[in-house]
Homo-oligomer: A and B are copies of this chain.
Amino acid sequence: MKRSIAYLGPTGTYAEVAALQWAKYFQQTTGELLDLCPYPSIAQALKATANQETQFTVVPVENSTEGSVSMTLDSLWLLPQLQVHRALVLPISHALISQFPTLQGIEKVYSHPQAIAQCQGWLEHNLPEARLIPTSSTAEALQSLALNLPVGAIASQRAAHLYGLPILAHPINDHPDNCTRFWTLSLEPSPGGSYTSLAFSVPANVPGALLRPLQTFATRGLNLSRIESRPSKKTLGDYLFFVDIEADVIQASVQEALVELRQTTETLKIFGSYTIAALPITV
């Protein structure tokens, strides 16, 4: 049976580009072709793999302008059986797409909230009067466009080309180095690599409760490339932490750290070890 990968659809999203990259890498390493399966939300894409509807999922984890993708982290905390197979950093360059002939006169701009936030300065300067209307993905925003209607959508140049739609302005993201880190996940064990990701909760209201886990890494010379807190959703002031370590889980120092972590954290979830691939082409 042909295996498949879930992503936030429809056709034309940045997640689709990440899924295509993974499919290409998978074909190069295994000779197998993958089916691409669009889902209406990140949570549903992750659940599809957890429920064995698809063998892989690709999801955005973090953007350089807007930070962590909360829906991804919150869903992963509830689906710890999913393991990271690879990280991919994708340069993200947004376009203003419209069937209206000029920027002047555009009354509404549709896009995913993350994309709107990444273009906030440009929008305030160029379309200060436009109403900003969030959609569930950048590609979905294109469905709101129609001939001569004074509405625009923020999506990739690739999406504009796929749907045969005109670009009024590009690039419109406020930070030129705008990029997003994606993870490919699966129920299969992670392949190993120079990055290990994990998440843990610490006992609430215990002085220095977070310091001990951090010292566990530091005393072993393990560098943290990222630390992110999310609310436990139980009570204000009670958090989960998502941490990326620059080391492989098979290293003795990481194994020792994990033994110690199990004693100082309440719940510990390990998402595996993997490598990071950088995609040089901006989409």
* Per-position binary interface string of chain A over residues 220-255, scored 1 when its CB falls under 8 Å from any chain B CB and 0 otherwise: 010111111111011111010000000000000000
Q: Would you give the shortest CB distance from A233 to chain B, in whole angstroms?
A: 5
Residue of chain B at shortest CB distance from A237? B225
Number of copies: 2
How many A residues have CB within 8 A of the partner chain?
43
* A181 in contact (CB, < 8 A): yes
Q: Do A233 and B64 touch across chains, with their CB atoms under 8 A apart?
A: yes
* A147 in contact (CB, < 8 A): no
Q: Which residues of B are found within 8 Å of A225, using beta-carbon distances?
A: 237
Q: Which residues of B are found within 8 Å of A210, using beta-carbon distances?
A: 214, 224, 227
Q: Do A181 and B229 touch across chains, with their CB atoms under 8 A apart?
A: no
Q: Do A63 and B229 touch across chains, with their CB atoms under 8 A apart?
A: no
> 5 smallest A-B Cβ distances: which pairs?
A134-B134, A207-B223, A64-B236, A211-B218, A67-B231
Residue of chain B at shortest CB distance from A113? B113
Of the listed residues A67, A208, A223, the one surrounded by the most CB atoms of chain B closer than 10 A to its CB is: A67
Q: Which residues of B are found within 8 Å of A188, using beta-carbon distances?
A: none
Select A236's contact among B70, B89, B133, B235, beta carbons within 8 Å. B89
Q: Do B66 and A235 touch across chains, with their CB atoms under 8 A apart?
A: no
